[in-house]
């Protein structure tokens, strides 16, 4: 359970850093770019990816992930800034519905009534979590906040599907694929950053490298400890899955409410509770 706790803490630390970015005038594109540079280095040092022939590698999935990861990271940062840690974490964690629905429509998987019930509860949870009035940050209307949360929900779900497809491709070791994806994400974000600097929208800042590396360490720690948890509790995948998602929602909610004083309506609090119920129901139905 220690690995699960560490993974949860790393995930929430990322959200906290994104929340603090506005206060300290952090250029998120610079931070996100250097975040992937340290992810590349840590993947190389810790996972020691094995190099095999990439002739038949799933390059379409690699390319899609290389574009989606940095793009969604930017949206994630804006969502945390404008809607708060609590709502963003709920939307991110409940994106697990997307691959479940995709399994039904694309692969013909037949979900049982219990899983369908969990999905329905999850959608109600997302509906309840939306700040229909003013957001926790007070700078976005309900519609603007709703749009950020929707993009995260769908985007994270698509990323989950792509990573599952990559993991299912046994010819290339998963850690090798992960390394390639991080390289592509760094290249994409670096190109976007270079364009932004060339157009005079921002200036290169060395402190942003340090901020990005810190963000990258926390982000990579989330992945590393999650994998370690699955390896340690290989016969209890449901425990890892449910504890990880519920842990992020609970810890994120506590920090959002008591540290950043985020305002949640009664309906939003119901959404947090329903999100936890949904994860429990789906986990139980899946295993």
Segment 38-53, tens digit of pLDDT: 999 999 999 988 887 7
Judging by beta carbons within 10 Å of its beta carbon (0-12, 13-18, 19+), is residue 233 exposed, middle or buried? middle
Grade residue 272 by pLDDT with cuts at 50, 70 and 90.
very high
Query: Lowest-confidence range among 126-140, 177-191, 229-243, 250-264?
Result: 126-140
Structure-token match 């949860």, residue found: 8
Query: Lowest-confidence range among 183-192, 210-219, 231-240, 242-251?
Result: 231-240
What crossing angle do the helices spanning 59-83 and 28-42 adopt, rounded to 10°? 130
pTM of the model: 0.88
User: Is the pLDDT confidence value at 187 over 70?
Assistant: yes
User: Is the pLDDT confidence value at 205 over 60?
Assistant: yes
Asked whether the CA dihedral 254, 255, 258, 264 is positive or negative, the reply is negative
Chain-centre distance for alpha carbon 91 = 9
User: Is the pLDDT confidence value at 140 over 70?
Assistant: no
């Amino acid at each position: 359970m220690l690995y699960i706790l560490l993974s949860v803490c790393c995930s929430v630390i990322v959200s906290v850093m994104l929340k603090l970015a506005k206060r300290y005038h952090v250029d998120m594109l610079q931070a996100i770019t250097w975040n992937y540079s340290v992810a590349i280095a840590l993947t190389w040092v810790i996972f020691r990816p094995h190099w095999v022939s990439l002739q038949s590698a799933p390059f379409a999935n690699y390319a899609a992930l290389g574009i989606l990861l940095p793009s969604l990271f930017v949206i994630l940062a804006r969502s945390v800034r404008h809607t708060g840690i609590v709502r963003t974490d709920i939307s991110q964690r409940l994106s697990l519905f997307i691959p479940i629905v995709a399994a039904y429509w694309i692969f013909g998987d037949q979900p049982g009534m219990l899983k369908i019930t969990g999905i329905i509860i999850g959608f109600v949870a997302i509906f309840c979590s939306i700040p229909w009035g003013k957001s926790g940050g007070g700078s976005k209307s309900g519609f603007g906040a709703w749009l950020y949360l929707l993009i995260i929900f769908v985007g994270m779900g698509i990323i989950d599907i792509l990573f599952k497809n990559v993991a299912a491709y046994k010819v290339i070791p998963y850690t090798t694929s992960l390394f390639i994806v991080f390289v592509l994400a760094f290249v994409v974000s670096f190109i976007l950053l270079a364009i932004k600097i060339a157009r005079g929208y921002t200036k290169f800042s060395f402190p942003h490298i340090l901020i990005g590396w810190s963000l990258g360490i926390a982000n990579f720690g989330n992945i590393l400890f999650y994998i370690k948890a699955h390896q340690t509790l290989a016969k209890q995948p449901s425990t890892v899955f449910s504890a990880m998602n519920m842990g992020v929602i609970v810890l994120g909610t506590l920090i959002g409410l008591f540290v950043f004083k985020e305002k949640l309506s009664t309906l939003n609090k119901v959404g947090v509770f329903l999100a936890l119920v949904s994860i429990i129901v789906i986990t139980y139905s899946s295993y």
